[in-house]
Amino acid sequence: MSGTIWLITEDESDKVIVEALVRKKGFDIQVARLKLTGGSGGVDRLAHQLERLIRDAKDMKKPNDCIVVLHDADIHMQQSNRQTYEQIRRICKDNKVTLILARDEIEAWLLADSGICKWLGIRPRNHDEETKPKDKLNSLLDQKHNMKYRERNQEKILAHLNGDGDTHSPSMQEALQHLEDAPCTK
Amino acid sequence: MTDNLHNASETNGTEEVKPKPVLTRLRFKNWRSLRDVVIDDLQPINVFIGANSSGKTNIIDALRFYRDAQQKGLVSAVMELGYNKIQTDVLENDEDVELEFTYQLKKFSDLPITEITTLQFQKRDVPFKYGRALFEGDVLLRREVPRDLPIREGIETFSFTVTDRPPKHHHKAVAILNYLSTIAQKRWQILSENFMPPLRLSHQEGGDIYLMERDAQNTLVILNYMKQAYPELYTRLSEDLSWLLNHVVKFDVLQYHDYPRDIEAIIRENNSRIAPTISSGTARIVAMLTAIYALDMRQEINSSIDNLKLLTPEIPGLVIIEEPDTALNPGLLRKFVEQIRFYADGDNPRQFIFTTHNPLFLDYFKPEEVRVVSRDENGYTTVDRVPERVKENWLDEYGLGEVWTTNSFGGLAE
């Protein structure tokens, strides 16, 4: 019986990417997103609301479901702001919830995917350590396909996904390992 | 059975007890997307939230259908909706559509009174069957069996066979059914989501002077009658409008000297001038308040029952409004809900059912007043309460509408 990933993210676009990736990887699971109040964005808001969202997810989850917190680690952010990330990590640990971190932004996983890269005319490689992979993706989309990286275009972009970005991206590899270990994918 | 049907507010010695909600429970079976849905513990104010196409309107349409069937006859009500658009599409021929309404009617019983209307449609043929049953608690008071009715415009064959009619319950059952029918016909105000009252009416246009049309087209007709026959109610309505809308000093319905049978709504503003236009939000508020205040007008009706010949404000009223917040400024929503609470808490039993998509509107309701409408994996509508944990987990810091946007209790579009 397939389970559900209760995915807590900052942005709607993250859920769509995760959904596409788990499908490509052959996991028979649903993805339901718990959102922050007041729309997308804001790691501070995620940290502030995370415990409540986890409590809700725990209440709604069935035995073979799992809870996953996914957020961009924003590795290039100043050290002084790192305490928020540490807080999120601690909350996930205390609640025994899977935490998946994209090194800077989750779009780095798309730039490591052979299908997307072929469509964009570049070679797949690791973009985990780069700043703002979303901007790079946006620029490539604009050049090659006269397209912006917007939510409404995600379906068209993700149609080219092969789901093999983990061969180049260690952060995606780690994320998939977490998912493979989670009860909802068993 | 209590004889005085007008005395709906219950009293207990000298201490007045607030009237409980009259309609306490709804159950819909095989009605459109509602495969089998129970909505119990209805409050004085009830709000259905849910994504587009979740089934909110199907709930409202079931109530409207029941009212229309009482008003115009079952066949007309079926024809209006379309007989093939009433039942859940997967039904076999022998499955009934059931509309079950439970009331708390202290004048008749301390036990809940439940009326179940059943409809059975044939797949290939147009005739359908109709029946109904009345229960007091678990005790059957009356059952009318399904009987073939031809669906043809204008044909009303409302004869039916009463199979179970325990003699001792006969008079009580008839009195209750008449009472319920009268309440639904005359005391259920229903406004559809896109209602918009015209602000000027020519003399050719008319309409009911008590019951609001679903699109609010007869708002000025009701107001004009209220102004003449119940000036104190009319003044209170205008005062409520002024409280809700700061710019309104006075609201009025005027008849023209040249065309005395033409009427127009006007608003006098702070500068004492007449506003050149009335916004759609203001017009919708006028319609909603009119629907509510119309229930406070006494109404003589044709009834075979002596004590139902005059409907008075004390008789329960139900006001159903789809998306009342449409075209209202977010800053106005709080005052609007406060005004509704004023009506719901008043001496006369008034119940409200709203639908909305708006988290800002939802912020002003209590969790127990809110029902979450969603579709399950099979596409059927589900209706759930707001989980208790939401209160404990969130509401110390966040509004209910804000929490709804997190998807923590469903009903949100993905």
What ipTM describes this predicted complex?
Answer: 0.80
pLDDT, tens only, A124-153: 999 998 888 999 999 999 999 999 999 889
CB-based contact, A45 to chain B, within 8 Å: no
Q: What is the mean pLDDT of residues B270-286?
A: 90
Residue with tokens 């940290």: A47
CA distances (Å), B283 to each of A186, B197, B246, B266, B273, in order? 57, 6, 15, 10, 18
Query: Would you say residue A43 has pLDDT above 50?
Result: yes
Cross-sheet strand order for the sheet of B248-255? B200-201, B263-269, B248-255
pLDDT confidence of residue B143: 86
Structure tokens at B360: 């800002």
**Closest alpha carbon to B208 in B307, B274, B290, B150:** B290
φ, ψ of residue B264 in degrees (nearest 5): -145, 140
Query: Would you say residue B19 has pLDDT above 70?
Result: no
Closest-approach residue (CA) in chain A for B402: A37
pLDDT confidence of residue B146: 61
pLDDT confidence of residue B258: 72
Query: Would you say residue B5 has pLDDT above 50?
Result: no
The DSSP-derived string for B197-254 is --SEE-TT----SSS--TT-TTHHHHHHHHHHH-HHHHHHHHHHHHHHSTTEEEEEEE
Q: What is the mean pLDDT of residues B148-155?
A: 51
pLDDT, tens only, B238-256: 999 999 998 888 899 988 7
Phi-psi region of B216 (alpha: psi -120 to 50; beta: other; left: phi over 0): left
CA angle at B206 for the pair B202 and B209, rounded to the nearest 5°: 130
How close A163 comes to chain B (CA, Å)? 23
pLDDT confidence of residue B162: 60
pLDDT confidence of residue B183: 93
Query: Would you say residue B155 has pLDDT above 50?
Result: no
Closest-approach residue (CA) in chain A for B396: A52
Q: Which of A44-53, A153-162, B195-204, B330-339 has the lowest mean pLDDT?
A: B195-204
CB-based contact, A32 to chain B, within 8 Å: yes
Which residue from B393, B402, B409 is facing A37, i.e. has the nearest CB? B402
Asked if A3 and A185 count as a contact pair (C-beta separation under 8 A), the reply is yes
pLDDT confidence of residue B11: 42
Interchain pair A56, B408: CB under 8 A: yes
Chain A neighbors of B387, CB-CB under 8 A: 59
Q: Which of B209-223, B250-264, B368-382 has the lowest mean pLDDT?
A: B250-264
pLDDT, tens only, B73-87: 887 888 888 777 787
Q: What is the mean pLDDT of residues B41-53?
A: 95
Beta strand ranges found along B65-221 (DSSP E): 97-103, 113-121, 128-136, 139-149, 161-164, 188-191, 200-201
CB-based contact, B403 to chain A, within 8 Å: yes
Domain residues of chain A, as ranges? 4-185
d(CA B105, CA B1): 11
Task: Tell me which of A54 and A78 has the higher pLDDT.
Answer: A54
Question: Which run of H or of E encompasses A115?
Answer: helix A114-120
pLDDT confidence of residue B167: 66
CB-based contact, B384 to chain A, within 8 Å: no
Residue ranges in B321-372 assigned as alpha helix (H): 330-344, 359-362
Q: Whole-model pTM?
A: 0.87
CA angle at B132 for the pair B128 and B138, rounded to the nearest 5°: 145
CB-based contact, B389 to chain A, within 8 Å: yes
* Dihedral in degrees, nearest 10, Cα atoms B376, B380, B385, B388: -20
Q: Report the percentage of chain B scoring pLDDT > 90.
A: 57
